[in-house]
Structure 1
Amino acid sequence: MGVSLLAYVVTFFIFCINYVFTLCAVIFPKWLTFVTPVPFYMETNYGLFKLCRSMTRECRPFPSSEHGDCQEDGFCELWRAAAAGMVIATILGGLTLFGILATMCSERRKRSQAWAPLSFMFLIYAIPQAFSMGIIAYLFNTSATFYMGTRYNFSFVLSIISWCLAVILAVILSLVGIMSPPDYSYQRI
């Protein structure tokens, strides 16, 4: 029997939600946030590609050597590597969605054996996200760019949820594929 169409449909919808998390993490500039203490409220949001301040209500490219963001050795290179990792994950996620759709539209025999490449695609999709999340966490803890009181925001959390969910999907789909009985075990009457 292999993996059923229902399992792929459920996987597709869960992965669609997962992919939206990744897109939100890339689009919204809310990886790190610094809020100034009272009496003057100002929120600074650091995104993968831009920095936004609530006081001026404007965003600028981040990191930018023109604004002095790259004075610390390796900061800009690491931040851009994290951004590139998330862009690569977005591309791989689109390919994975296409792979799941192609699997759902294929014949039963091919569909029953597609769990292995799809599980591999989920893992390949999760690796650049984990890499990006690790770089941002490293810079958050070691860089002098971020002031005391800077905290993680929802784009960072969405990235963590996304790559963890992708790994969980890979494991569950692999277990279903391994533990389901093969097609030849059922005999027609």
Structure 2
Amino acid sequence: MAVSLLTYVITFFVFICNYALTITSLALPKWLTFVTPVPFYMETNYGLFRLCRSFTRECRVFPSNDYGDCSEDGFCELWRAASAGMLVSAILGALAIVALIGTMCSSRRKRAKAWVTVAGLFALHAIPQAFSMGVMAYLFNHSATFYMGTRYDVSFILCTISWCLSIFLAVLLSLIAVLSPPEYSYQPLN
């Protein structure tokens, strides 16, 4: 059972795109969005670390005790847990990239066994993201901070795609490793 170098190269480029989704969802303050109805258009974007309003064209730290964001029990703790989950996921994603580069640069014998580590790192990359997405969905549905009309936005969707793709890559790499024949199997002499 072996995974070829070509499989690792393709996996590397797919995971780089996946990691870009993770970093974008972490940095972009668009997890949740509230748009006020007509006639006064104002868009409020909630990010993991910032709240931005289109009317004033400014962003501030979110959640913050200074603005009364933490008046609801457990809101700030859960929001910060979701932020921490995404940061942990970004760190684990970087480790997965380093592991993939190391695997691609290693010998054939080491590549044959490296799929366990790489697939495990993909799964570990997905777990904190799924946690963050679940916390944000919980706060979206149960917090009085968000008014009717608030909706999920780009960062939430990118996070969901990213952790699903990480799980898919982990399962696919494991299946390829288990089901494929050895790269250079023994050929008997006639």
Confirm or deny a common fold (TM above 0.5): yes
- Cα deviation 1:134-188 (Å, max 9, x = unaligned): 0000000000000000000000000000000000000000000001113563327
1:82-121 matches, cutoff 5 A: 82-121=82-121
Partner of 2:160: 160
Tell whether 2:190 aligns with 1:171. Answer: no
Partner of 2:26: 26
Partner of 2:137: 137
| Identity in percent | 66
- Cα deviation 1:67-113 (Å, max 9, x = unaligned): 01000000000000000000000000000000000000000111011
Count the aligned residue pairs: 189
Alpha-carbon distance in 1 for matches of 2:79, 2:138: 10
1:15-94 matches, cutoff 5 A: 15-94=15-94
TM-score by length of 1: 0.97
Alpha-carbon distance in 2 for matches of 1:114, 1:52: 43
Question: Which stretches in structure 2 are left out of the alignment for 5+ residues?
Answer: none
Question: Which stretches in structure 1 are left out of the alignment for 5+ residues?
Answer: none
AA partner of residue 113 (structure 2) = Q
AA partner of residue 163 (structure 2) = W
Alpha-carbon distance in 1 for matches of 2:123, 2:91: 14
AA partner of residue 117 (structure 1) = T
AA partner of residue 155 (structure 1) = S
Does the 8 A contact of 2:3 with 2:183 survive in 1? no
> Given the superposition, is the C-alpha separation of residues 188 and 60 from structure 1 closer, same or farther in structure 2, using an over 3 Å criterion?
farther
CA-atom RMSD in angstroms:
1.1
How many angstroms does 1:116 deviate by?
A: 1.0
Partner of 1:12: 12
Partner of 2:187: 187
Alpha-carbon distance in 2 for matches of 1:134, 1:78: 10
Does the 8 A contact of 2:4 with 2:183 survive in 1? no
Alpha-carbon distance in 1 for matches of 2:173, 2:25: 25
Query: 113-122 vs 143-152, which deviates more?
Result: 113-122
- Cα deviation 1:8-52 (Å, max 9, x = unaligned): 000000000000000000000000000000000000000000000
Question: SS at the partner of 2:149?
Answer: coil
